[in-house]
Structure 1
């Protein structure tokens, strides 16, 4: 018995780590793409965009959310900031859903671990879900309640000195603050975000120039680090839990929770139960994809698995954050709206896919245990490339944040010292992080010469906005 238990634990770990190995390159590449988009795609003022109660505002909220990936908690924190500034509740909920379900890294992971049918259902269903959610909210919205909650939220945060990080929207901390020339005190969630802000205010290079300099890649590296810091616990937990669920949860448990067979009633029950399991699972963000593989292997229907994947925004820990931010009434309202739309959309996807004859064949429960994960194949080589890219970005981040220099490159804003390339212009010496930035300055000296050179590292310094 004891030997069987030990064997089961090792097998669980083999499957969980095997899943992680299989999907590692997709997660890393997805996060790199997300980081590039967030750093270099210009965005309109989100509070204004999300304040418009129309199709345009909803569409922009969805697109912006898909380009602003993060964990469930990150999405909720940013959503709170947007709501405080006047974002309409429909658009804030759409933003939150898109930023956890319509993102590159999640799509790649679903494609690898579950197949293209699930990816199509995730993307198409995600858009339908947002449309259904918007309609439901418009029909049921207690408008005055949300106006009162917004007012109380602003008053409470003002009372406690809570401000949002201007670079990422997360909650700022007192230890990472600086004061602008206009006398405004800005708070940041981390040293990395504060450094990014200082770098951006000190530079004015084009994105093409920046990506050929240390400074530009520092921004990407910093964003990449932030993305990982938000999701890594969910990802690791999701993969490890999935291994244990596959090995130790007997088939009769799935049969008891999820109705078996065909028909609309079975699809509807499976979709509802999929959301219930998600709420109770405590696994959010991308960690619920490997868990979904365990459900699929256990015989749960297509509707149940898709509904489960949608539901990472209403796990118990996330619901508790809603309660802290907005109170019990709003928390229960968000739970109700998301629960109904997620279960309904999961059900609708199975009906739709069944009509087109593209519901995938059920993978037997033994598939994961029979699979060989660590082989010299395309996954191995893609992972090597992905790990190298990840190491490079983290190296650039550390190089940027820990640079010893008291100067800032006027082209990209990177910290530098007097040992690198330099030149004199109008009686002042400028220092650069690379020859590339120096050449950019030489081409357009008047454009860059106005930016401050001295970087008072670690202090609350002032910079003009450029």
Structure 2
């Protein structure tokens, strides 16, 4: 490798990791707030509330979305669950949009990496976008198409035995299932969600009591871990790609793609191109903010950058998920509606900000290459606090402090109490989370009897404290 290329790669990594360092505390704090909301704000059957195509349904969808996870795929999966249960298409799209654009961690990241003007455009634009989309869908929605798709979706899932995870709305898997006291079998997408459900069932007392118990913090730790597991790839990819784009994409490429100068046409073209680049960039949710910094540094207009930030719900991998869930027709419909809405809102934001005189001045700031990222400043202290809190939550989760149950079901590995079904084998007593697991053990005891029947000593003591 020639020296200049090595220098370029190192500089790309310096910028990418520098961006990540700059925004780390914002992402961590945002995910913690999201985890607290997810754990303590009950998800009473949202679909009932989101069934009507009216302002109240739309507002609730937006608020629910803003209070939920920030992963594009998670948002789409939960949207599918709501749609299946009867939520109106407009409200499902609004929910998905809010949960990827109006969330705390994204707002903090935009504020730090792009500035307050972009944050205002993101929040105000997010609301305008949902309104524009609702009007477009209202005018163009082939009503019977969506009813037909909903029927097909329910029928297909019924035939394949697909059930939604009751805690997060994503697709449940056979290996994470349990039978309730009422004889109903529930399926979960992961061990984490199954554990969350069990805790919900086991916990008593309001959220204040929970916050002062290990059990409450254990739940938050479990949720926090799940939030990270959904977005970490997007986040790291976005930061690393942005470094390489800033260093290696020459200015003439941006000049060829984006018109320069003033005027409505330039604004409109930039907004459309911003969305088009987002579709093919493959970077979802949080990862597209550092990428937007690269575009902004390339001299793309405000409209283009903000439209790009909006467009994480129509990247190619996400479009493929729509296709799998709803078929080609609905995927193309969603792509069309979102594309027009996102480009139009980006354009609108620039025009509005021009009138108000608050379009940020590109020439004023340092370029990414001129910045030094690692210094003893407020970022360092905030990151330190964020990492310590992160460590605390993961420690609570790993040690199982306050986790329900002091015994481990040898079949599925879940924690359980001694009031669950149990049996003695080779002088050792085992407890199970469900009769199904107990039956599996009885059929092949040799396969499971090597598992320690109790959770580690420290977990036991804590469990006794908690109960």
**Which TM-score bucket, shorter chain as reference?**
0.7 to 0.9
Deviation at 1:134, TM superposition (A): 0.2
Contact 2:199 2:404 in 1 (8 A): no
Contact 1:297 1:363 in 2 (8 A): no
Query: Which of the pair has the greater relative contact order for Cα pairs under 8 Å at 6+ separation?
Result: 1
Equivalent residue, structure 2, for 1:68: 68
Contact 2:77 2:169 in 1 (8 A): yes
Deviations 1:359-411 (A, max 9, x none): 00015796100100000111011101100101111111222289695369xxx
Equivalent residue, structure 1, for 2:121: 121
Equivalent residue, structure 2, for 1:289: 289
What's the secondary structure of 1:311's corresponding residue? Answer: helix
Deviation at 1:459, TM superposition (A): 7.2
1:58 matched to 2:34: no
What's the secondary structure of 1:162's corresponding residue? Answer: coil
Equivalent residue, structure 2, for 1:240: 240
Give, in whole Å, the separation in 2 of the partners of 1:327 and 1:341: 21
What's the secondary structure of 2:400's corresponding residue? Answer: helix
Equivalent residue, structure 1, for 2:432: 456
Provide structure 1 residue ranges, at least 5 long, that are not aligned to the other structure. Answer: 409-413, 419-427, 429-453
Equivalent residue, structure 2, for 1:166: 166
TM-score, length basis structure 2? 0.87
Deviation at 1:153, TM superposition (A): 0.3
Equivalent residue, structure 2, for 1:346: 346
Give, in whole Å, the separation in 2 of the partners of 1:455 and 1:306: 54
Give, in whole Å, the separation in 2 of the partners of 1:77 and 1:417: 32
Give, in whole Å, the separation in 1 of the partners of 2:283 and 2:370: 25
Contact 1:258 1:273 in 2 (8 A): yes
Deviation at 1:204, TM superposition (A): 1.2
Give, in whole Å, the separation in 1 of the partners of 2:39 and 2:279: 33
Deviates more, 1:159-168 or 1:109-118: 159-168
Contact 1:280 1:316 in 2 (8 A): yes
Contact 1:61 1:92 in 2 (8 A): yes
Deviations 1:95-126 (A, max 9, x none): 00000000000000000000000000000000
1:254 matched to 2:230: no
What's the secondary structure of 1:187's corresponding residue? Answer: strand
Deviation at 1:220, TM superposition (A): 0.7
Deviation at 1:206, TM superposition (A): 1.3
Deviation at 1:44, TM superposition (A): 3.4
Deviations 1:264-301 (A, max 9, x none): 00000000000000001000110000000000000000
Flag the 1:357–1:365 CA change in 2: closer, same or farther, 3 A.
closer
TM-score, length basis structure 1? 0.87
Deviates more, 1:10-19 or 1:354-363: 354-363
Equivalent residue, structure 2, for 1:130: 130
Equivalent residue, structure 1, for 2:450: none
Equivalent residue, structure 2, for 1:445: none
Provide structure 2 residue ranges, at least 5 long, that are not aligned to the other structure. Answer: 409-413, 420-429, 439-467
Equivalent residue, structure 1, for 2:24: 24
Deviates more, 1:361-370 or 1:379-388: 361-370
Equivalent residue, structure 2, for 1:439: none
Deviations 1:297-326 (A, max 9, x none): 000000000000000000011101101110
Flag the 1:155–1:404 CA change in 2: closer, same or farther, 3 A.
closer
Equivalent residue, structure 2, for 1:387: 387
Flag the 1:286–1:460 CA change in 2: closer, same or farther, 3 A.
farther
Contact 2:178 2:434 in 1 (8 A): no
Deviation at 1:43, TM superposition (A): 3.7
Flag the 1:250–1:375 CA change in 2: closer, same or farther, 3 A.
same
Contact 1:192 1:401 in 2 (8 A): no
Flag the 1:21–1:363 CA change in 2: closer, same or farther, 3 A.
farther
Alignment of 1:254-273 (within 5 A): 254-273=254-273
Give, in whole Å, the separation in 2 of the partners of 1:47 and 1:319: 23
What's the secondary structure of 1:369's corresponding residue? Answer: coil
How much is the aligned-residue C-alpha RMSD, in angstroms?
2.2
Alignment of 1:137-156 (within 5 A): 137-156=137-156
Contact 1:64 1:95 in 2 (8 A): yes
Give, in whole Å, the separation in 1 of the partners of 2:417 and 2:403: 8
Flag the 1:78–1:7 CA change in 2: closer, same or farther, 3 A.
same
Alignment of 1:51-450 (within 5 A): 51-363=51-363, 367-400=367-400, 406=406
Give, in whole Å, the separation in 1 of the partners of 2:2 and 2:10: 12
Contact 1:406 1:456 in 2 (8 A): no
Deviates more, 1:14-23 or 1:1-10: 1-10
Deviates more, 1:177-186 or 1:234-243: 177-186
Contact 1:72 1:284 in 2 (8 A): yes
Equivalent residue, structure 1, for 2:465: none
Flag the 1:459–1:228 CA change in 2: closer, same or farther, 3 A.
farther
Deviation at 1:41, TM superposition (A): 1.8
